[in-house]
Structure 1
Amino acid sequence: MPLNAGSTGYGSVQGPGLDVESTPLLIPEDEPELVQPWRPLSKGELEVAAGGPGWRKVRCYLVLLFWLAWVAMLAISIAIIVISPRPVKTPLRWWQKTQFYQLQPDQTEGSGGINALCEQLPYLKSLGIGSLILEGLFDKKASSLNTSLTGVRSGTLPQIQHLIAQSNKAELKVVLDFCELQLTGPQDEAGHALRFWLELGVAGFAICDTDAVYSEKTLLEWKNAFKEFSSKEEEERIVVVKQTKDNLLPLNSSQVNVTLVDIVMKSILPSSDHLLSDKEVADAIETHLQIGEEEIWPSWRVGGEAAPDLKKLLLVLTMTLPGSPAFPYDEDLDQTKNTSMKVVSSPGETNQPPDTENEKKNKRLAVSLFTSLSRSRAREEALLYGKMTFLPFNASTSATTSNSTLPSSPPVLAFLRSWGCVHFLVLLNVGPNVHALDPAWAPSLPQAGVFVTSTEMDRLGTTALETLELQPREAIVIKLFEAGSYS
């Protein structure tokens, strides 16, 4: 039987119109279409595409969205600034911004002390001192400030007049100390003597709270006399009261609602017939740091006697407390070799010219420290207006100095002066041991800061509080800031 059975045979795939011999066994795939290679639009094509109506709408929407977002951010910023609480900056009068310098020309040298002081007036002004309190010029045995002698010791009235004139020329205020003087006598005579000094340009008078003139009647008469010579704010006359008692009775006039006392001068250390120990000094400082709102502007002075190596620490403290600092005459600040001025607290002790390099170094250090504190206080609002907060944090004695045989050291004392977001930390190590701060001493405060000044003027740059160690009898002022910020 033939295998090829024709068109109807078995296995035939032939159909109508299908040529078996010419039909391929595999069906070929379609040929791919040719794709043109990608190329960027030309400038002309891009301008045509970007000029279409769709792109115009997109650009308009984007510009509108940008300006709306910018205006919204500006409005939010203004709202935050307006509603944010800000400290109120109360304008301070000249006696609230000044630094008082108490000194006493030596009367044993005649007019030499006053002449020497006149020569130093520009230098004292450069240190930041704004007012002089002249003590020991009046004879305490005089019964009144009469018009003939005006209570001044014999032969010194022309020199004092010259000193007042030169002080005003150097822009230094002069306050005359009437403390413990018997200012009694006829009312007209006392008033005439008061006007005599006011006409010379005296800026005010200092009295004690134990004086007879510390009364509403007398001080009201003084205030009325002051009005005649206080045409400008910078010419305002003041009354300074030295507080000697534990409690001071503030005087307010019953006739007019004014305070008859402008400044109360307080002592940080109590009076004592011996040098106060470290513990006594620390207790006195801690007691006075716990102060409330003062009705009368305070002025701080050291007052009592402490160890000489605490002198610079007490200077830092006096400069950083709220109020106007007052300093006794310091021979380290005296740039002359004249022995005609003496320390008020130690009559008979005169300044001596520096004999050794160590003394010269101490004088330079004293001037640098005083100038640094003075300038910081003048330019930092926190040290002028700032609120004071006592910090009772813990400090541990450094392991390198820990010894059971050493006497117990007073704790480290510290307080903050704050104005807005600015904080100044003042650390006082009164004791003889090195102290390191506890890392958890004040978790709410920044842990970093920059040194403003220190008693030895050897602290510079930034610091971390957890690594800080206070040396014996050292005081440090640090301006705190958040980590990564130097504002």
Structure 2
Amino acid sequence: MSQDTEVDMKEVELNEMEPEKQPMTGSPSSPASGTLGEKNGMVKVKVPEEDGETDAGTKFTGLSKEELLQVAGTPAWVRTRWALLILFWLGWLGMLAGAIVIIVQAPRCKELPPQEWWHKGGIYRIQALEAFQDSNADGVGDLAGVQQHIDYLSSLKVKGLVIGPIHVNVPDNLAHTDLQRVDPQFGTKETFAKLLEDAKKKSLKVILDLTPNYRGQMPWFSLETAHNSDFQSKMKAALEFWLELGVAGIQMEGVEQLNDSQLLVEWKNLTSQYSSDGNARVLIAGKASRIPRIFSTERDQC
């Protein structure tokens, strides 16, 4: 009697335990007939071993080589393969034709303009020549001073120099302005010719600033100067003079006072007459408040 009471008390204690602490139980079925079993609170799953006796109707073994060749040789499959092959090549040829049409109809790129020497490097400008280099200790920079620094200028890897103006100019006085004579304080024509020779040895081009009234208030003396036949003849003669001496180009500033673009076209055409292969000349015309424009001697860039 006491033994039964002890067993009942154990069952009560087990039932009153928290669910988390109660041991897991498996299926009440026997191990021989079920798949779940209990041992020490653990659940085991029993997977039946394959006995090799599978239903033949659910087992797929695929087609043998002989069967595949037999099916592939049927007329339906042969026609299908040929149809796919033809569609592939038609699609490929269609894409090729489309690409050719796109290339042919695409807009053509404009040819790049020929590169002249002034396009291939910088240009060093010596505008205030009197402040550059004094060669004779008179307090005024001169052409001989530029000649002394020609090696240094060449080391800067520039393509050319802009020098001047250097001609004789009485401010706002057309009659006493000599566009073909070098101001004595800067040197002489011979000094300038020697500078051109030395610069050529260093592959440096020299552009001469020929702004007429560079010391006066009006770059072109007055608004009527451009229509003055005497002035026009002086400018034409000066252009020919310096180009024949060997300058690579002419620069002029303050052209807004000209009020006549035809003069620039004529001067450009005159400059182009002195161009040759590998020795193109350039005409640079600039306004006082704007960057100078370059007029090529080989083509119109106005």
Which structure has greater strand proportion? 1
Which structure has greater helix proportion? 2
Normalised to the residue count of structure 1, the TM-score between the two structures is 0.34
Higher relative contact order, structure no. (Cα contacts within 8 Å, ≥ 6 residues apart):
1
